[in-house]
Copies of this chain bind each other. A is one copy, B any other.
Amino acid sequence: MIIIFLTRPSIKVATTIKDIAHALGCSPSTVSRALHDHPQINEDTKKAIRQMAKKMNFQINQVAAGLRKHKTFCIGVIVPSISNYFFSATLSGIQDAASKRQYQVLVCQTNESVVEEERYARALSAGRVDGILLSVSMDSQKHEHLTDLLSQKIPLVLFDRTMDKLDVFKVEAEDYEGSVRVTEHMIKKGCKKIAYLAGPESLINNSRNRLAGYCDALKNNGMAFDKSLMRVCDFDKEKAREAVKELMSQYSDIDGIYAVNDELAVEAILTLKSLGIAVPGQVCVSGFGNYPIAEIVEPQLTTIGHNPYLIGYKAAERIMGEIHRDVSLGNDPRIELVKSSLIERGSTAR
Which residues of A come within 8 Å of B, CB atoms? 10-14, 57, 59-64, 66-67, 70, 72, 74, 81-85, 87-89, 91-92, 95-96, 99, 104-109, 111, 116, 122-128, 148, 151-153, 266, 270, 291-293, 296-298, 309
Quick check: B82 and A85 within 8 Å, CB to CB? no
Task: Indicate which residue in B61, B95, B124, B293 contacts A109 across the interface (CB closer than 8 Å).
Answer: B95
B106 and A105 form a contact (CB under 8 A):
yes
Please tell me if the beta carbons of B104 and A91 are within 8 angstroms of each other in the complex: no
B108 x A153 contact (CB < 8 A): no
Residues of B within 8 A of A11 (CB): 70
A109 and chain B: residue at smallest CB distance = B95
By a CB distance below 8 angstroms, the chain B residues around A57 are 148
Instruction: Contact check, A95 vs B70: say whether CB atoms are below 8 A apart.
Output: no
Q: Is the CB of A127 within 8 A of B61?
A: yes
Q: How far is the CB of A60 from chain B (nearest CB, A)?
A: 6
Residue on B with the closest CB to A99?
A: B108
Take A83-B91, A108-B95 as given contacts and tell me if A14 and B125 are in contact as well, using a CB distance cutoff of 8 Å: yes
Given B13, B125, B126, which contacts A152 in the complex, CB threshold below 8 Å? B13
Q: Bound complex: CA of A142 vs CA of B238, how far in Å? A: 47
Chain B neighbourhood of A126, CB < 8 A: 14, 59-62
Closest chain-B Cβ to A230's Cβ sits at a distance in Å of: 25
Q: Chain B contacts of A89 at CB under 8 A?
A: 83
Chain B neighbourhood of A64, CB < 8 A: 67, 127
CB-CB < 8 A to A84: which residues of B?
Answer: 88
**3 shortest A-B CB distances, which residue pairs?**
A59-B126, A88-B88, A61-B127
Residues A74 and B106 in contact in the complex (CB < 8 Å), given A83-B92, A127-B14, A128-B62: yes
The complex places the Cα of A88 from the Cα of B92 at a distance, in Å, of: 10
B10 near A153 (CB under 8 angstroms)? yes
Give the residues in chain B near A62, CB-CB below 8 Å. Answer: 123, 126-128
Q: How long is the Cα–Cα vector from A105 to B270 in the complex, in angstroms? A: 37
Q: Which of B13, B96, B270 sits near A153, CB closer than 8 Å?
A: B13
Which of A10, A59, A85, A108: most chain B CB closer than 10 A? A59
Q: Are A82 and B74 in contact (CB under 8 A)?
A: no
